[in-house]
Amino acid sequence: MTNPSEQPNVTQLLLAWNSGDETARDELLPLVYQELHPVWKN
């Protein structure tokens, strides 16, 4: 797992995506998948 200080700020990515920044979406989705995938498997 990466150091949280090295990860992009999820809130900032969500705000950017909400403003239409598709690059922010592309950065956000893998982060969400990485965090939730282990939960889905259980």
Residue 3: both structure tokens together: 């150091």
pTM metric for this prediction: 0.64
pLDDT for 2 = 52
More confident residue, 41 or 4: 41
Domain boundaries, the chain: 4-41
Please check whether residue 8 is in contact with residue 21, taking contact to mean a CB–CB distance below 8 angstroms: no
Q: Torsion over CA of 2, 6, 40 and 28, rounded to 10 degrees? A: -150
Q: How many CB atoms lie within 10 A of CB 41?
A: 6
Is residue 18 predicted with pLDDT exceeding 50? yes
Please give the torsion angle defined by the CA atoms of residues 35, 40, 41 and 42, in that order, rounded to the nearest 10 degrees. 110
Residue 41 pLDDT greater than 90, yes or no: no
Average pLDDT over residues 8-33: 92
Question: Under a CB-based contact definition with an 8 Å cutoff, are residues 30 and 23 in contact?
Answer: no
pLDDT surpasses 50 at 1: no
**pLDDT: which is higher, 32 or 6:** 32
